Structure 1
Amino acid sequence: MSVEQGLELWKTLSAVEFIRAMGDGRMRGFSEVADHIGQLVTAVEPGRVEIAWTPEPKLCNPAGTVHGGYIAMILDNAVCMAASSVAERFLPMLTLNLNVDYLRPIMSGETYTVTGVCVHPGRKRRVSTATVVDSTGRTAAQASGSVMPNESFAG
C-alpha cells in the first residue's frame, strides 16, 4: 500500500477501524516498523489493543535475548495504539514519557501477547499501560506512558 492510499483510509476509517486495518493486512507497507519487529494487531476496541509479537533473532543482543530497545518499542507501540483507539479518527501519538520494567528475558521465536490499555483518555494528554506476556501467562515486561496526539496529521 502506498502512503497516499494509507492516508485515504486514514480519512475514512474510525480510529478502531484503522488500527484493525493494520492487523488485517490492509495497511501493509504503510509503515515498515510492524513488519521489522514482528508485531501483528490481533484485537482492538476503544481504549484497548492486543498485539501478537514474535520477535526474530535479528532483534537479539549478543546475549541471545531480545534487546531492551525493541521491547521498549513494542510497549511504546501498544501504549500509543491504545491511546489512539479512543479517538474518533486515528492520529499517531507522540510519546512524552515511557517507563519500562523488564521482568524476564524475552526470546526470539516465541510468541508473546502485548496488551495496551488507555487509562486516561484526555484530549491533549493520554496515559496508557502495556504488558508483554509469555505463552504461560507470565509478564515479561510492562510499561506506562504518557502520549499526545500528533496534531500535524489531523489534515
Structure 2
Amino acid sequence: MTASQPPDVSTVIVSPELLASMTGLEYLQKMQRGELPGMPIAKTLGLELAEVEQGRAVFVSTPVFEHYNAIGTVHAGYTATLLDSCMACAVLSALPKGTGFTTMEFKVSLLRPVTKETGIVRAEGTLLSRGRRGAAAEGRLTDANGKLLAHATTTCLIFEF
C-alpha cells in the first residue's frame, strides 16, 4: 500500500474518535455503503447489513456447514450473534454524536432449528426504548418465508466518549 492508497476497510477498526464525530445512524450508513469498515465477525458469519434507519437494523446471512455444531444444526452462537448484532445496531442508530454503548445483557429464545437448508435468514432489530443512560431493543430471526426461528431482547448502557 502506498501513501496515496486508502486502507483496506476489511482490515481496520474505526477509532472511538471517528465514531464520536458522527451519529450512530451516519456511522451505520457509511458502513453499509462500504465507506467505513464493517464488523470483522461479519466476514466469518457471512453477515450483511441490509437495512438501517433510525431505531431499526436488519442483517441477512445464509447459514452454511461451517456454522454447524456437533449435533448437525447451526450453532446457537450463530443465531445469538445475528440477533445481538441487529439489536445493538438498532440502538446505535438512535445515538447522537459523542455517545457510544455497550451490551449489558441479552436473552435469546430459539424456536426452530436452523440448518444450511434453511437458506437466507433475516435478523431484524428494533429499538424499544432509549434514555440518557440506557436502551432496550428486541430482535427477530426469520427465514425467507417469514417463519420465526428465534427472538431476543437486549439492554444496553449508553455513555459519552
After TM superposition, the score normalised by the length of structure 1 is 0.85
> 1:80 maps to what in 2?
88
Q: Distance in 2 between matches of 1:22 and 1:43?
A: 11
2-structure distance, mates of 1:125, 1:58: 35
Deviation at 1:22, TM superposition (A): 2.3
Confirm whether residue 112 of structure 1 aligns to residue 121 of structure 2: yes
Q: 1:13 to 1:116 in 2, by over 3 A?
A: same
CA distance in 2 between partners of 1:53 and 1:31 (Å): 14
Structure 1 range deviating more: 140-149 or 102-111: 102-111
Q: Does 1:94 align with 2:119?
A: no
| 1:70 maps onto 2:75 in alignment | no
What's the offset of the Cα at 1:100?
A: 0.8
3-state SS of 1:100 partner = strand
Identity across matched positions, percent: 26
8 Å CA contact 2:141–2:150 kept in 1: the answer is yes
Higher-Rg member (1/2):
2
Cα drift, residue 125 of structure 1: 1.0
Query: Residue 133 of structure 2 aligns to which amino acid in structure 1?
Result: K
Please give the per-residue CA displacement for 1:53-93, whole angstroms capped at 9, x wherever unaligned. Answer: 22332111122221011211111111111111111238553
More off after superposition, 100-109 vs 117-126? 100-109
Taking only aligned residues, the RMSD between alpha carbons, in angstroms, comes to 2.0
Unaligned runs of 5+ in 1: none
Partner of 2:5: none
Q: 1:38 aligns with which of 46, 50, 53?
A: 46
- Aligned residues of 2:133 and 2:159 also touching (Cα < 8 A): no
Letter paired with 1:34:
A
Tell me how far apart the structure 2 counterparts of residues 92 and 58 of structure 1 sit (CA, whole Å). Answer: 32
Residue of structure 2 aligned with 1:13, choices 22, 26, 43: 22
Give how far 1:23 is off. Answer: 2.2
Contact 2:59 2:122 in 1 (8 A): yes
Task: Report deviation, 1:123.
Answer: 1.7
**Cα distance in 1, alignment partners of residues 51 and 98 from structure 2:** 16
Aligned pair count reads 149
Q: Amino acid of the residue matched to residue 27 of structure 1?
A: L
Q: What SS is found at the alignment partner of 1:83?
A: helix
